[in-house]
Amino acid sequence: MTKNGPQFTIGIEEEYLLVDRETRSLVVDPPASLMAECEELCGAQVTSELLRSQIEIGTKVCENIQEAEEDLRRLRRIIIDCAANHGLAPIAASTHPFSRWSEQKQTEKERYQALTLEMQAAARRLLICGMHVHVGINDDELRIDLMNQMSYFLPHLLALSCSSPFWDGRDTGLKSYRLTVFDSLPRTGLPERFTSYAEYERHIRILMDSGLIEDATRIWWDLRPSARYPTLETRVMDVCTKMRDTITLAAMLTCIMRMLYRLRTSNQRWRMYTPMLIRENRWRAMRYSFDEGLIDLGKGGVVPFEELLDEILSLISEDAEALGCVEEVGNARRILTRGTSAHRQLKSYELERAAGRNEEDSLKAVVDMLISDTAEGV
């Protein structure tokens, strides 16, 4: 690494759903005092979201993954404690097992009202939560170069994060249903490829000059140069229910970016594959998580996910050592063993149904599991 190279700082944003501890339903109209309490303890690190049943937190800029974990733990604990004061609980899941989007209330902020006016039902259906990881890349040209190469790995990260198998009280058959909802918006999905930051800026300017977007924050790709910070922002992942999994994926993607930069300093780069093939892997991750494998684009065939993960962990071993996150990255193998949040939600539901409980009570049991897992390690 060069002395003036990227610092690979880390910032993590997580979105949560707020549920009533008694009914397990989403709380449609939480008390205003809840947000006031959270803001008093978190300051600007907590914000409202499009729907009143959602809340978002964001860590400070962290020098390493351990610092990010410490700050994320503090923020999760504050939200849990403040919600408990009102008989509520946050769940870190990208969809709610049974509450319906059509019954939710929108947060009364001008930017949310403008979004809904423009996008109509596509916005009203956004009862989904994600997590975004910012990695500090202070060179604009480097951010574009790494974005172009990093796209290959987005399906792998998604596969390890899935937490949205249910929608409107039904098993969707997908492990990440969230993206089917989010993809209905414009300017979503895989990032475009650009030869330079100037080319990227020209495309953004066309949309701005046409009056279609206010600024680059309205670009919602799975991976984008942040419009607010000197970072590359990964947005493809479902929010992880277990905090440990969040930290694992944040560490893993930071190491991948460092690996790609390391190749660049040796006049090498990751092979570029067509968006068509990467989109196919993205769909497979949405549908199956890691259960049915992904396409090894180098070999030209579907291979077990475990093989792909082993390959990635081998590629980034040097980077995990350098960034001091060997243990955190290694936890990815544990996710394969015990499953993602989506796997655990479905298993909980199936066990409850097999025990003779009705559908409503079985889905409530899933919410109970999500409440518990969200607080694990916090």
Task: Give the pLDDT of residue 5.
Answer: 86
The alpha-helical segments, DSSP class H, found in 160-242 are 178-182, 197-209
How far is 240 from 131, CA to CA, in rounded Å? 8
- pLDDT tier at 51 (50, 70, 90 boundaries)? very high
Q: Which helix (H) or strand (E) holds 88?
A: strand 88-91
Domain boundaries, the chain: 10-375
- Quote the pLDDT of residue 269: 92
CB 325 within 8 A of CB 254: yes
pTM above 0.95, yes or no: yes
In percent, the amount of the chain with pLDDT more than 70 equals 99
Label residue 157 by pLDDT band (50, 70, 90): very high
As beta bridge partners, residue 133 has 12, 234
Q: Environment class of residue 110 by beta-carbon count within 10 Å: exposed (0-12), middle (13-18) or buried (19+)?
A: exposed
Distance between CA atoms of residues 264 and 146, nearest Å? 9
Q: With 70 as the cut, is the pLDDT of residue 3 above it?
A: no
Closest CA to 242 of 320, 157, 331: 331
Mean pLDDT, all residues of the chain: 97
Q: In this model, does residue 2 exceed pLDDT 70? A: no
* Helix ranges, the chain (H): 32-42, 65-84, 110-119, 121-124, 140-150, 154-159, 178-182, 197-209, 243-265, 275-288, 305-315, 317-323, 326-330, 332-338, 341-354, 359-375
254-267 pLDDT, tens digit per residue, is 999 999 999 999 99
Pick the CATH number of 10-375 from 3.30.590.20, 3.20.10.10, 3.40.50.150, 3.30.70.600: 3.30.590.20
User: Do residues 222 and 235 touch, judged by C-beta distance below 8 A?
Assistant: yes
- Residue the block writes with tokens 């984008």: 224
pLDDT tens for 277-310 read: 999 999 999 999 999 999 999 999 999 999 999 9
Output the CA torsion 309→11→13→295 (10° steps): -20
Cα-based torsion angle of the residue sequence 76, 93, 310, 347 in order, rounded to the nearest 10 degrees? 120
pLDDT digits (tens, 9 = 90+) for 117-155: 999 999 999 999 999 999 999 999 999 999 999 999 999
Q: Would you tell me how many other CB atoms lie within 10 Å of the CB of residue 267?
A: 6
Region 166-192 average pLDDT: 97
Instruction: Collapse the DSSP code of 302 into the 3-class scheme (helix H, G, I; strand E, B; otherwise coil) and give the result.
Output: strand
Q: How many other CB atoms are found less than 10 A from the CB of residue 244?
A: 16
